Structure 1
Amino acid sequence: MMTILKNPSKILHLCRKWASDLDFMKLILLLPPLLFIVYVFFCSVSSNPFSYLGVSVHSSASTTFSITFANQTERIRHIEELNRSRIAVCLVGGARRFELTGPSIIQKVLNVYANSDLFVHSPLDDKAYKLLLLKSARSIAGVRIFRPQPMPETESQLRVLTAQNSPKGIQGLLQYFNLVEGCLTMIQDYQNQNNFTYDWIIRTRVDGYWSVPLGPENFIPGYYLVPPGSSYGGLNDRLGVGDYNTSVVALSRLSMIPQLDSAGHRQLNSESAFKAQLTTQNVPYLTMRLPFCVVTDRQYEFPPSHYGVPVAALSSRGPLSGAKCRPCTPACTGSCVEPTMSILDKGWSWTDWANNSIELCDAHTEWESGWEKVFDRVAGKKLAAARKRIESLKLDQCVKEFAEMMNKTAHWEAPSGSEICSLGLLNSPRS
């Protein structure tokens, strides 16, 4: 029916055929319902926010969306439009395993779109020297590496937020929110200095490993895009893609807390606070599967319980949508996966496991001996070479590369390269 309605000549042909087969009065009776169907169809097309992209949107019972372009021409047109758009990539968090994740972020996010700028907001610690891998990024607009300080806890924050399930309590949530909103501040300052506004903001984490590039279907005007799963009673906050207006709301993690307090929200974790930010400000959101996972050193019970946390093998086919992961020899594959994953609470740490898309690690202990070979095999030669370079990095080379990175960065706010490199290469064991 839709094919017929899209083609007026076919409608005319049908009418002529009916006119030859039916008397005039029967045709008159048939025309009103036909015209009504045509009217409803064109109204639905005009109200579809995705129609100008030439995409179709499908939802499943899990509210996860899958967007596919109507044809290759529409996809190319959308990519060209994105390449003309100004895109800010906001990278936040500590550089714990950045030798594994950083090169994938550069290849699969930063360098995918021609007109994108990188903003880095990261705490100074003994792993921060690994951020020098970003030197190869095409455009670095801002880098802030700061010394973490305890943050004051206000009465509204204590009412709205909960310390439950946060490894560092409410202070940990505030530090994380400060990382995210601080990156937004960097972006806004850069815009003001250069008199323009970004079209899109991608907010992702330093510890995210990307298996394939971030595709153009993930840029939906007027909607904020997040991964499904790992929602912990709210929305997965490990990555977000949105236009400028939706991103400002999504990234205002600290300054939105008084509004959440006024709206009566109480005892929220990071994910539920994130969802409340969007809903209280009437920002629509979509969940779509995304090809990245969060590399973790934390240990989790295996097999996971109802509210446990599954840890995916880095070799999983995915997309993993921000699930916890590590390089491992999988302990659970194939027929083992369904009974293990199906007991997980759908609104907590669950991640999509259908179609053999996930393999599980036994993560109740430290990373296995020989994990390096596992990673190199999965990640490929280029990413393996970056890992090995950080493993063998010398102090003088580290300092030199930080100087080169600083010279290509528009705004640099960080301790000296000598201090960053010495903290990591002289005073702590490598990892």
Structure 2
Amino acid sequence: MTMSLSSFLKNPRIVVKLRRRAWDLDRRLLLLILFPISLLLVIASLSPFSAAVRSILGGFASPPPGNESTTLRRSRIAVCLVGGARRFELTGPSIIQNILGVYPNSDLFLHSPLDSNAYKLSLLKSAPRIAAVKIFKPTPIDETEARRRVLTAAYSPNGIQGLLQYFNLVEGCLTMIEDHQRKNNFTYDWIIRTRVDGYWSGSLREDHFIPGRYVVPSGSSYRGLNDRFGIGDFNTSTAALSRLSLIPQLDAAGYKLLNSENAFKAQLETQKVSYSVRHVPFCVVTNHRYEFPPSSPFYVPVAEIFSRSPLNGAKCKPCTPFCGGSCVGSVMGGLEDGWGWSGWGNDTLRLCDANADWEEGWEKLFDRGVGKKLASARKRVKSLDFGRCVNDFEVMKGKTTSWVAPPEAEICSLGIS
């Protein structure tokens, strides 16, 4: 009797046999696929074939070293750069190399006052991505009763007005970022806030980026928190960068006579923002004079710019070190504890005699320390003429989404005769 196809397939014995044959076939096919891949992976671990095999395998091979921060590198990052361009020929190239060049999705936001050094900002034409630039003519900021109660003129070279101008620079950059986000309908994952006068000897680490926490440098805390640099996600950064608009809240909370660092710490605490302290490889290049050797526990050390210490935003300049080893220990050990000096042990910090102007021949010291690439940028600014300055700003403007600044010729004419 002939069996129909449907009856044949419903026969339990036949179904079991078919399933076994299908499983055997699947297993053979799997082994056929896996064997050559396994063989290639073994060969890939052996030199000299490893590079070639990895290129063939692509995604199957292990990722090359240094790609641990792939997620971070893909994040949208706003770099908020604020302040005057005093020594930007020294600091600018290091910012481009160690901050802007490291994160492909980072956008630069520049907020800087117009002065005789602003022409040096033309170096930023080499920045990979520029979202917004604002170069403005500073005007006095109203010193309200609340601002006079909360802030102190002590330790501020330009009194309360100096603090307000600094706070305006910082919060103004946040405003630029928020405007850019609204226009483009997105929110940055991270905001890096740093200074125009900061020299970077290295890059940031992945552990500088902590969701829900604002990261600040160690040291230079002046009984508060070091406010010369910061990293946070958008929410924590909004609280950290709102330096002017949060003063009424500090006043309402009863805070009085705060310096910049005190006010910064109080600001985070009133906004219930957690913070973390990390070593950060940058220093603030200074033209100021400070007595040496110190006669006060409130002395401000000036580090040699190439000290092996991470420096954490300490004042620095290129110099022939005047004090190292045990000398540094005796100087730093005599300073006020509450000011929070850090990173000077193990002979990693060298100090300059900042009692006078920069020493003759500092250019050679700097060029030797930074190498040919960064040295060439310094030399380029030194030899910059008016025409090239204007052209560089035009190139920079062409790369920028939002440009608010005086005419390029006006910026260049203030510093180049």
* TM-score normalized by the length of structure 2: 0.83
What's the secondary structure of 1:144's corresponding residue?
strand
Query: What letter is aligned with 2:379?
Result: K
Alignment of 1:252-401 (within 5 A): 252-304=242-294, 305-348=296-339, 350-401=341-392
What's the secondary structure of 2:308's corresponding residue?
coil
Of structures 1 and 2, the larger Rg is shown by 2
Alignment of 1:124-273 (within 5 A): 124-273=114-263
Query: What letter is aligned with 2:127?
Result: A
Measure the CA separation in 1 of the matches of 2:338 and 2:68: 33
Measure the CA separation in 1 of the matches of 2:179 and 2:221: 31
CA contact (8 A) 2:218 2:340 kept: no
Measure the CA separation in 2 of the matches of 1:192 and 1:78: 31
What's the secondary structure of 2:111's corresponding residue?
strand
Deviations 1:163-190 (A, max 9, x none): 1111111111000000000000000000
Q: What's the counterpart of residue 411 of structure 1? A: 402
CA contact (8 A) 1:191 1:198 kept: yes
Structure 1 segments unaligned to the other structure (5+ residues): 1-71, 427-431
Deviations 1:314-360 (A, max 9, x none): 12011000000000000011222111111112221623201222100
Extract structure 1 runs of 4+ deviating beyond 3 A.
72-78
What's the secondary structure of 1:285's corresponding residue?
strand
Measure the CA separation in 2 of the matches of 1:287 and 1:102: 25
Measure the CA separation in 2 of the matches of 1:75 and 1:112: 15
Structure 2 segments unaligned to the other structure (5+ residues): 1-61
Paired positions, count: 355
Cα distance, 1:74 vs. partner?
Answer: 12
Query: What letter is aligned with 1:338?
Result: G
Measure the CA separation in 2 of the matches of 1:357 and 1:220: 27
Query: What letter is aligned with 2:162?
Result: G
CA contact (8 A) 2:289 2:354 kept: yes
CA contact (8 A) 1:156 1:258 kept: yes
Deviations 1:376-397 (A, max 9, x none): 1111111110110000001000
* Root-mean-square deviation (Å): 1.4
Query: Alpha carbons of 1:388 and 1:86: their partners in 2 closer, same or farther (altered >3 Å)?
Result: same
What percent identity do the matched residue pairs reach? 65
Query: What letter is aligned with 1:373?
Result: K
Q: What's the counterpart of residue 34 of structure 2? A: none
Measure the CA separation in 1 of the matches of 2:65 and 2:244: 37
CA contact (8 A) 1:323 1:351 kept: no
Measure the CA separation in 2 of the matches of 1:99 and 1:351: 27
Query: Alpha carbons of 1:270 and 1:357: their partners in 2 closer, same or farther (altered >3 Å)?
Result: same
Query: What letter is aligned with 1:318?
Result: S
